[in-house]
Amino acid sequence: MTKQLGRRCIIYLAGSIVYILAVITSARYTLDAEVKFVWFLAAYLIVGFEAFRRLQESLMQKKFMTEYTLIILATAGALGIERYAEGVFVMLLFNMGMLFEAFSTDNTKRSIQDLINIRPEYATRLVRGKEFKVDPSSLRPGHAIIIKPGERIPADAIVTYGISDIDTKALTGEALPRSVGSGDKIYSGCINLSAAVEAMVIGAYEDSAVTRIMKMVEEAQDQKADSETFISRFSKIYTPAILLCALAIMIYPSLSFSYGNWDTWIYRGLIFLVIACPCGLVLSIPLAFLGGIASAARQGIVVKGRNYLEDLSKADTFIFDKTGTLTEGVFRVTDIRAFNMTREELLEIAAHVECYSNHPIAQSLLKEYRRQVDKKKVYRMREMPGYGVSAIFEGKRVFVGNKKLMEWQNIACTDVRQAGTILYVAVEKIYAGYIVIEDSVKEDTKDTFKYLKDKCNAVLVMLTGDTEKGSIPIAKELEMDYAYVNLMPEDKLEHVEDFLSIQDRTERLVCVGDGINDAPVLARADVGIAMGALGSAAAIEAADIILLEDELPGIIDAIKISKETLKVVNQNVVFALFIKLVVLALAVIGFFSMWEAILAELGVMLVAFLNSAWVAKYTV
């Protein structure tokens, strides 16, 4: 529980105790009118503290017709006609509803882990050939640094010496490492994999890629407008309507059929105002959303707030990251073409030569080979970052790598233009064939997209840091409407802003991702959905909904739960309004007292609670 929520609970409890003591004391003893008023007023001010604070915020934003306006006018009116116990009790019920909502939001937030810190702990600076460990924040442009295998890059820099593979997943989300050499730019937060490289810092630590991403997340969350909740929209109509009706009851009869009887009709108008307080509505709506959030949690979906369920039910634009979201993020062999040998022999050679490497490509070869590798047959292995590997296998020199390796060794080979990563193989400098390795689309992606197209009339968009060759075929296979490639986090955010700018008030945009590079767009979207099992903690923190099982059909489940929850909300509202109208009509003609009206309101709350409990048990 947060400190702020804890304080609210203490204030509410203190006000409740003062109220109970006031009721007991006034029932047992004959109190002076002033003493009784002061006692109940104290309880009223304490209990209503949060409502007064919310009303002040609304007035500062020039929002006058809110649920807080009505509740304070009605309960203050009750105190004005000396209905102290009823007025304070109505405020107690109203604040109970607000606390229910606050508790549901707090519980979901506490289930989310803290924001990941991918900033490196130290940097190794080179000064006159000597190495010194320094704080990354002390680096300045022009400083020489060395990044060893396994270390994070401490600041944006340009490689001055060495060749290595860089894990850029923190920035681009792509699982396949990028080869870098002298003159290539490298970014903070990425991990050096295979060999030590020297580099020159080109930007201050405060301006590094990682710091910029964290700032973008904060700014995106600030820009993200809180969607107007159901009760806020309802209050814009309900509050002025009730106020006008109350004024009509006070004024019209006294000027017409009950001429001059001002005391009676002012009294009934104030009772009307008190009875009209939307306590049942205010409590029943958070209860319904709390049930929806509980139902989602039972099915591995964490929802951080009720407005995200409401927005998800209106979503019609879905933006997806590629690697780890639409695809497995695990590479597999999809094609083998061999010359002057069988496909099995070519795969055996490649798997043995790559057997000592931890590179994702090497792992995919070993997985496809499916047999035990005899490492005794492999020796004099040489890894060439940015090119591939070379080794002696069964007495013959074998080269396995990209086309640059073939060109370096003056080996003639075919120009393969298939989608995916092409691994060329040469034995004794004679071209032997190639192997195609691709990331595979998740099994349930197509079914999920079909549901979004059919049930949500969705526009499907891909935003990825991967290349055109590795992304466009997947976008075409999944029949996506738009695909944007080679994007950095700031580029993704710019595209999301473009889509948001063409939305109308009834439309909502959803972003789905799993990496820190997706965090800014998850924070900026109307609803951000993170893949929680394998996703980075930064994405999980920035997102509004988390799928704990990393399965895309969870989006379908979340949409179904959101629609079911909204249906229950509407049922609760219709029932509460029906009872409210009946009670108001009876109260105007004198057949309903204020206490009887409050009992009817409690009945509405009970029905809403039972209805919401059904939502909590809803299973997709």
Q: Round the CA-based radius of gyration of the chain to a whole number and report it.
A: 33
Sheet with 545-547: list strands edge to edge.
301-303, 545-547, 527-531, 508-513, 315-320, 459-463, 482-484
Active-site positions read 321
Q: Is the Cβ–Cβ distance between 560 and 531 less than 8 Å?
A: no
Nearest alpha carbon to residue 348 among 366, 360, 332, 361: 366
* Cα dihedral 552, 554, 558, 563 in deg (nearest 10): 80
Structure tokens, 185: 């730019």
Provide the 3-class DSSP secondary structure of residue 25.
Answer: helix
Distances (CA, A) of 450 to 201, 290, 458, 564: 48, 29, 9, 20
285 within 8 A of 231, measured Cβ to Cβ:
yes
With CA atoms as reference, report the closest residue to 67 among 307, 283, 290, 309: 283
Amino acid at 42: A
Q: Are 391 and 381 in contact (CB under 8 A)?
A: yes
Alpha helices in 338-444 (DSSP H): 343-353, 360-369, 403-408
d(CA 609, CA 607): 5
Q: What angle do CA 48, 51, 56 make, to 5 degrees?
A: 125
Cβ atoms of residues 383 and 389 within 8 Å: yes
Closest CA to 68 of 82, 84, 45, 50: 50
3-state secondary structure 455-477: HHCCEEEEECCCCHHHHHHHHHH
* Residue reference for tokens 């519980």: 107
Determine contact, residues 188/156, Cβ cutoff 8 Å.
yes
| 27 class by beta-carbon count within 10 Å (0-12 exposed, 13-18 middle, 19+ buried) | exposed
Tell me the residue length of the chain: 620
DSSP state of 208: S
Q: Please tell me what DSSP assigns to residue 511.
A: E
